[in-house]
Amino acid sequence: MVTEGHEYRPTEANRKVYTRLYSLYRQLHDGFGVKEWSGGMHNVMKELLDIRDPFVLLDQGCYYLYGTRGTTVWTQEDRFDCYTSDDLATWDGPHEIFHRAPDFWADRSFWAPECHAYEGAYYLLTTFGSGDGRLGVQILRAESPLGPFAPWSKGTLTPPEWQCLDGTPYFDAEGAPHLVFSRSFRQVGEGHMCAVEMTPDLRTTRGEPRVLFSAKDAPWVVPFPFAEDFGIETDVYLSDGPFPHTTRSGQLLLLWSSFGANGYTVGIARSASGDFWGPWEHDAEPLFAGDGGHCMVFRTREGKLLLALHAPNTFGEERPRFLELTETDAGLSLGEPARPAKGGSR
């Protein structure tokens, strides 16, 4: 509009936020205030869940959703949250599950929490960072999926001199636990995906970490487009968000994320030998190339296979998404957005 000779134009980013919030407000208004309105409210709460790196645990019939808080992903942080649902559509929370003590070493980069039930307890694999450049994977433990979680591993399970992130567990045929994680492109430009064996109590590691593969070798990956923001003037490659999955036919896959031609992307590596240590081969085409990623795979109460990821990858706009997956002879095939559980509100 024009006022006193000045032309005012809305900031595009602010306009998009307003348009999105107005749409949700209008939906709520009509749903509760217009007699003739018919529809569902399934999308409203999910649209307000500003989290990255979603992880879903199904435990005793309840879905628990963990993730990186979108508003503080790049700033200082002091907690992790969780949401609960019985249908993957309507969510209750946030429930605070961990709060840093004043003497805790990390105060930022509270990323990618994954909750796993193991040996009668619940373990939260997390990424933590500090102002002096430390970045690593540490495990927390609790008696409930809702916490409160407390530090369990003896510091970070990743080497203290390495900058590492996005830890996820893998249990081999003998039940031995391993930690799969990414090493930062700020130290290794090729984008290493690594792993190391853990002790059965998940408190420490055995042996030295080994490289599973490099992001640079995947045919769909392009150089990290924001390298200059980190003061890097050469091409570097991102390895991010690993998640192992063994199909019912016995194929050992590792889903992971990097950047492709259309932004943040999910790809698949597969063990050519069937053994966890590889060799690993990359699928030529990504699984998801719609500017979203950091995925995981889980089954619903009804046994349906779903892919959870955040999309888009734009700061402030990221939201958890659930997509149907099908296991095929070739591996995994991506389907439509997931429908609600029976009896849900979607």
Are 6 and 48 within one domain?
no
d(CA 217, CA 142): 39
Are 94 and 159 within one domain?
yes
What are 258-296's pLDDT values in tens digits?
A: 999 999 999 999 999 999 999 999 999 999 999 999 999
For residue 123, being part of any structural domain is answered with yes
Residue whose pair of structure tokens reads 């990821």 in the numeric block = 309
Are 28 and 56 within one domain?
no
Instruction: Give me the DSSP letters along 191-237.
Output: -EEEEEEE-TTSSSEEEEEEEEEEGGGSTT----TTGGGGT--S---
Among 76-80, 297-301, 312-316, whose mean pLDDT is lowest? 312-316
Query: Cα torsion for 47, 50, 56, 62, to the nearest 10°?
Result: -60
Are 200 and 116 within one domain?
yes
- Higher pLDDT: 315 or 224? It is 224
Are 12 and 116 within one domain?
no
Are 276 and 202 within one domain?
yes
For residue 344, pLDDT beyond 50: no
For residue 293, being part of any structural domain is answered with yes
How confident is the prediction for the chain on average, in pLDDT? 90
Are 124 and 210 within one domain?
yes
* pLDDT attached to residue 10: 72
For residue 323, pLDDT beyond 70: yes
* pLDDT attached to residue 11: 75
| Cβ–Cβ under 8 Å, residues 237 and 216 | yes
Are 25 and 127 within one domain?
no
Mean pLDDT of 291-308: 97
Are 6 and 81 within one domain?
no
* pLDDT attached to residue 336: 75
pLDDT band at 35 (very low <50, low <70, confident <90, very high): low
Are 109 and 10 within one domain?
no
129: tokens are 């960072």
For residue 115, pLDDT beyond 60: yes
What are 181-209's pLDDT values in tens digits?
A: 999 999 999 999 999 999 999 999 999 99
Which has the closest alpha carbon to 88: 284, 330, 324, 333?
324
What are 98-111's pLDDT values in tens digits?
A: 999 999 999 999 99
d(CA 222, CA 216): 8
Residues of the domain holding 6: 1-37
For residue 318, being part of any structural domain is answered with yes
Are 124 and 255 within one domain?
yes
d(CA 115, CA 56): 8
**3 state DSSP class of 47:** helix
Are 300 and 176 within one domain?
yes
